[in-house]
Amino acid sequence: MTLAQGSPSRGLQPSGSRSLRDELEALRIDRSRRRGGGWFSRLLVLLLLAGLGTTAGLLGWRYRDQLRPLPEVKTDTVRVMTQGQARTVLTVTGYLESRWQASVGAKVAGRIESIPVEEGMQVRKGDVLAIIEHADLKASLLERQAAVEQAKAELADMEILAEQKARDLARERRLFAQGAGTQAALEAAETEDRVARARVVSRQKAVELAEARVREAEEAIRNMYILAPFDGTVISKDAEVGETIMPGGMGLASGRGSVATVADLSQLEVDTDVKEDSLGALRKGQPAEVVVDAVPGKRYRGELREIIPMGDRSRGIVKVKVKILDADERLFPELSATVNFLPLGEEAHAGQASQQTYLPERALLRDAGGHYAWKLLPSGEVRRVSVEPDGEPREGLVPIRGALEGGETVVVDPPPGLVEGARVRAAM
């Protein structure tokens, strides 16, 4: 009985056991789903590795020169110059100025009545630049001219009186000689004659004084006319009608000091400074080539006119004046200029506009194939370029003909074994 009742109980499961099994089943990992998605993960890993490899390769290519240092070479530049530039012994800079230039003012103070000139106008010596008001001087001149006429009239009266006294003296002398006159009458006639002649002299001096005063007034009026001191060009107009001008240029507080600045533009020169240690290469009369920034493409012939015998010890320089021999209308004061001094005796090369290509002498090579040079490309590669010398070397440069046109970078003193296409690095 007991066993019969117990048998069915082994075939039944408690409710607590079923709940535990369900929970364990829910925690089981689905290995079939994990195995199905593994190919996508491996593809992502492969792509990532390929990207990293490509990036590393690009960085290695970009920084290959740092990773594997290239041969270092010295370089220089192909130049295009005139013969004057190629023969230059010294180059300095300065500014143009006129050898004959003046700020023209007045001798006396006054207010400007008119200015008949404008900037850029050509004037001759003695031309009127400005007129100062002088109506009072004109009136004074008229007064003094009238005084001259009055003095002349008084002189004429006195000369007539003197002639009469001379005749009276002659008559008294005849009467005295005939015994009809007296000594007292003769002496009185002689006295009156001397007085009359003295008065004539006095009147003559009065006329001269009056005429001198007229000339003084005329000179004062002439001073009211400001004239050009020499032939030249009005390069600046420094005052206007109605302004007061003061002699000596006392400044704007007291009035203008000048009405215009006149310069002889045919006598232009370059005012420049030369270092003391370079002065030994220069001599008075040395030829030069002058290049003015405002006139591109034009080269003027110059000559060292003067070495000013005064140094500047604080700056270590000496002032030098270079005369421009073929100045034209395009030049005027205060323009910046560059002066290339040439060796003595080479005046013919100054001012030549024709240009030529010059190669550094140390970059010119020769082998069985002829003359050549190594041209350095922006990529760092070298390329052989054929050239042909076109003159004797000078100052480390050789005139050439060939494929080089100027501005290219070439290798100087190339190392042995340099070949076409080799990669190099320019020395700093």
Buried b (16+ CB within 10 A) or exposed e, 391-428: eeeeeebbbbebebeeebebbbebeeeeeeebebeeee
State pLDDT tens for residues 132-191: 999 999 999 999 999 999 999 999 999 999 999 999 999 999 998 988 888 999 999 999
User: Given 326, 345, 364, which residue is the final one in a domain?
Assistant: 345
Q: Residue 238 is part of a domain; what is its CATH number?
A: 2.40.50.100
The structural domain count of the chain equals 4
In the prediction, which pLDDT does 47 show? 77
Q: Length of the chain, please?
A: 428
- Could you tell me if 115 and 234 lie in one domain? yes
Listed residue (273, 266, 268) closest to 94, CA to CA:
273
- Could you tell me if 216 and 338 lie in one domain? no
How many Å apart are CA 252 and CA 245, to the nearest integer?
Answer: 9
Residue pair 235/96 in contact (Cβ under 8 Å)? The answer is no
In the prediction, which pLDDT does 2 show? 41
Q: Residue 61: pLDDT above 70?
A: no
User: Given 168, 191, 222, which residue is the final one in a domain?
Assistant: 222
In the prediction, which pLDDT does 209 show? 96
- Could you tell me if 363 and 383 lie in one domain? yes
Residue pair 336/93 in contact (Cβ under 8 Å)? The answer is yes
- Could you tell me if 110 and 249 lie in one domain? yes
State pLDDT tens for residues 398-409: 887 887 878 888
User: Given 319, 345, 371, which residue is the final one in a domain?
Assistant: 345
Enter the DSSP assignment of 381.
Answer: B
- The full DSSP string for 240-292 is -TT-EE-TT---TTT-BS-SEEEE-TTSEEEEEEEEGGGGGG--TT-EEEEEE
How many Å apart are CA 194 and CA 169, to the nearest integer?
Answer: 10
Q: Residue 250: pLDDT above 70?
A: no
In the prediction, which pLDDT does 4 show? 42
Alpha carbon 373 to chain centroid, angstroms:
38
Dihedral of the alpha carbons of 116, 136, 258, 233, in degrees to the nearest 10: 30
Map tokens 């143009």 to a residue: 96
- Could you tell me if 140 and 193 lie in one domain? yes
How many Å apart are CA 290 and CA 352, to the nearest integer?
Answer: 11
Q: Residue 12: pLDDT above 70?
A: no
- Could you tell me if 142 and 124 lie in one domain? no
- Could you tell me if 194 and 215 lie in one domain? yes
120 is in which domain, residue-wise? 102-130+229-261
Residue 62 belongs to some domain of the structure: no
- Could you tell me if 233 and 126 lie in one domain? yes
In the prediction, which pLDDT does 376 show? 85
Residue 5 belongs to some domain of the structure: no
When comparing pLDDT for 82 and 153, which is higher?
153
In the prediction, which pLDDT does 214 show? 95
- Could you tell me if 281 and 294 lie in one domain? yes
Q: Residue 45: pLDDT above 90?
A: no
- Could you tell me if 216 and 325 lie in one domain? no
Nearest-5° Cα angle at 132, 130 to 133: 140
Lowest-confidence range among 61-75, 144-158, 301-315, 358-372? Answer: 61-75
In the prediction, which pLDDT does 208 show? 95
On average, the pLDDT of the chain sits at 82
Neighbours of 278 (CB within 10 A): 15
- Could you tell me if 310 and 375 lie in one domain? no
